[in-house]
């Protein structure tokens, strides 16, 4: 079964550099993202969002704050005929070395456990950072880098199967 795994910050919404999206008011969906979700809904059997959210672990936001942000996103995606089948997140601090935190593959394992029909080798991981590409590669997925190609060092290009400037550019190739 073909599944799509998507990072959040920098892929779906504007990343706040050196800070965290902690409120719905700060969650700015990137241009073309909703159109991309409408395309993805017809191309992938399952769509997942996988996101590190250590702002919770730092006490900058609560799980309820994150849920409000994600419910806002889900409503927007649904309004254009798109979908996200499940959102997985890791609230732990980087220093805790949680198996759920990307680049570890815990969230991919959760998705496969929750949806036994998911085949990771037939799945795609889309992200904007090295940790996203490592996550995808370690889980056996194809990897798609979106955004600024400089975010993955030249020496790490072996982690990237495809590159696009944004999510919609990728969606339009499907």
Instruction: With CA atoms as reference, report the closest residue to 135 among 162, 95, 110, 106.
Output: 106
The stretch 97-107 carries a mean pLDDT of 96
Angle at the Cα of 126 from the Cα atoms of 64 and 70, rounded to 5 degrees: 15
Percent of the chain with pLDDT over 70: 97
For strand 86-90 and strand 142-146, is the pairing parallel, antiparallel, or unpaired?
unpaired
pLDDT greater than 90 at residue 126: yes
11-62 residue pLDDT tens? 999 999 889 999 999 999 999 999 999 999 999 999 999 999 999 999 999 9
Between CA 49 and CA 88 the distance in angstroms is 6
CB contact set of 22 (below 8 Å; sequence gap of 6+):
55, 60, 61, 65
Q: Which of the following is catalytic: 7, 65, 128, 132?
A: 7
How confident is the model at residue 156, as a pLDDT? 83
Residue 68 CB coordination number (10 Å): 15
CATH number of 3-171: 3.40.50.1000
Q: Which of the following is catalytic: 9, 65, 128, 132?
A: 9
For the question of residue 7 being annotated catalytic, the response is yes
Instruction: With CA atoms as reference, report the closest residue to 151 among 129, 132, 126.
Output: 129
How confident is the model at residue 17, as a pLDDT? 86
Between CA 67 and CA 63 the distance in angstroms is 6
The stretch 130-142 carries a mean pLDDT of 97
pLDDT greater than 80 at residue 6: yes
How confident is the model at residue 148, as a pLDDT? 76
**Mean pLDDT across the chain:** 95
């Amino acid at each position: 079964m073909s599944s799509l795994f998507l990072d959040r910050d920098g892929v779906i919404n504007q990343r706040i550099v050196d800070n965290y999206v902690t409120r719905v008011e700060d969650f700015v969906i990137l241009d073309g993202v909703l159109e991309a979700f409408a395309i993805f809904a017809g191309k992938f059997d399952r769509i997942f969002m996988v996101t590190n959210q250590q702002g919770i672990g730092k006490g900058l936001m609560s799980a309820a704050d994150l849920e409000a942000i994600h419910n806002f996103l889900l409503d927007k995606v649904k309004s254009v005929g798109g979908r996200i089948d499940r959102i997985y997140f890791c609230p732990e601090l980087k220093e805790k070395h949680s198996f759920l935190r990307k680049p570890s593959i815990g969230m991919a394992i959760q998705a496969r456990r929750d949806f036994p029909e998911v085949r990771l080798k037939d799945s795609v991981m889309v992200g904007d950072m090295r940790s996203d590409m490592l996550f995808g590669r370690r889980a056996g997925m194809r990897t798609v880098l979106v955004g600024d190609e400089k975010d993955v060092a030249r020496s790490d290009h072996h982690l990237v199967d495809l590159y696009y400037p944004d999510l919609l550019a990728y969606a339009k190739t499907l």
